[in-house]
Amino acid sequence: MRVILALDQGTTSSRAILFDHAGSIVGSSQREFTQHYPQPGWVEHDATEIWQSQLQVAREVLTRSGLTASDVVAIGITNQRETTVVWDRQTGQPIHPAIVWQDRRTANDCDRLRRQPGLDELVQRKTGLRIDAYFCATKLRWLLEHIPGARQRADAGELAFGTIDSWLIWNLTGGRVHATDQTNASRTMLLDIDSCQWDDELLAAFEIPRRLLPEVLPSSHLFGMTDAECLGQPVAIGGAAGDQQSALFGQNCRSAGMAKNTYGTGCFALMNIGETHRTSQSGLLTSVACTSSATRQYAIEGSIFIAGAVVQWLRDGLGIIRSSDEVEALAASVIDSDGVYLVPAFAGLGAPHWDAYARGTIVGITRGTTAAHIARAALEGIAFQVADVLDAMKVDAAGEIRELRVDGGASNNDLLMQFQADILGVPVIRPRIVETTALGAAFLAGLSSGFWGSVSEIDQVWQTEREFHPAMSVDEVAGRRERWNEALSRCRQWVDPA
Q: Domain-by-domain residue ranges, the chain?
A: 3-244
Is residue 497's pLDDT more than 70?
Answer: no
Whole-angstrom CA distances from 255 to 298, 343, 444 are 10, 33, 17
- pLDDT cut 90: percent of the chain above it: 77
CB-CB neighbours of 300 under 10 Å: 26
How many Cα atoms occupy the beta-carbon half-sphere of 467 within 13 Å? 10
Own/partner pairs, 482-485, CB within 8 angstroms, 24+ separation: 483/339, 483/341, 483/364, 484/341, 484/381, 484/384
Q: pLDDT digit string (tens) for 266-302?
A: 888 999 888 888 888 888 889 999 877 677 899 999 8
Q: Which residues pair with 270 in a beta bridge?
A: 260, 301
**DSSP H or E run through 236:** strand 236-242
Mean pLDDT on 129-150: 95
Under 8 Å CB-to-CB from 481, ≥6 apart: which residues?
384, 387, 423
Q: Minimum mean pLDDT among 187-201, 217-231, 248-262: which range?
A: 248-262
Confidence check: pLDDT of 113 > 90: yes
- Print the SS3 string covering 400-426: CCCCEEEECHHHHCHHHHHHHHHHHCC
pLDDT surpasses 70 at 225: yes
Residue 211 burial class via C-beta count within 10 angstroms: exposed 0-12, middle 13-18, buried 19 and up: middle
Instruction: List, as one string, the DSSP characters of 117-167.
Output: TTHHHHHHHHHS--S-TTSHHHHHHHHHHHSTTHHHHHHTT-EEEE-HHHH
Sign of CA dihedral 76, 82, 88, 94: negative
Q: What is the pLDDT of residue 433?
A: 84
Q: Give yes or no for residue 80 having a pLDDT over 80.
A: yes
| CA 168 – CA 66 distance, rounded (Å) | 24
Separation CA 98–CA 104 (nearest Å): 13
Torsion of CA 322, 326, 327, 329, to 10 degrees: -140
CB 110 within 8 A of CB 55: no
Cβ 245 vs Cβ 263: under 8 Å: no
Beta strands in 282-427 (DSSP E): 285-289, 297-304, 341-343, 361-363, 404-407
Helix (H) or strand (E) holding 329: helix 327-332
DSSP-based three-state secondary structure for 8: strand
Residue 104, C-beta contacts closer than 8 angstroms, at least 6 positions apart: 41, 42, 133, 347, 348, 356
Kindly give the residue spans of alpha helices, DSSP state H, lying in 196-252: 200-206, 228-231, 243-250
Q: What is the average pLDDT across 417-428?
A: 96
Q: Residue 301, SS3? A: strand
Q: Please report how many Cα atoms fall inside a 13 Å half-sphere around the Cα of residue 333, on the Cβ side.
A: 12
pLDDT at 363 over 80: yes
Query: Are 437 and 8 contacting, i.e. CB atoms less than 8 angstroms apart?
Result: yes
**Does residue 325 carry a pLDDT above 90?**
no
pLDDT at 496: 58
168 pLDDT above the threshold of 70: yes
Instruction: Answer whether 333's CB lies under 8 Å from 375's CB.
Output: no
Read off the pLDDT band of 495 (50, 70, 90): low
**Does 498 have pLDDT greater than 90?**
no
Across the chain, mean pLDDT equals: 93
Asked if 437 and 239 count as a contact pair (C-beta separation under 8 A), the reply is no
Peptide bond preceding 209 in cis form (omega within 30 of 0): no
The pLDDT, as a whole number, for residue 494 is: 66
> Could you name the CATH architecture of 3-244?
2-Layer Sandwich (3.30)
Query: Rounded distance, CA 267 to CA 382, Å?
Result: 8
In Å, how far are 217, 224, 243 from 172, measured between CA atoms? 17, 9, 19
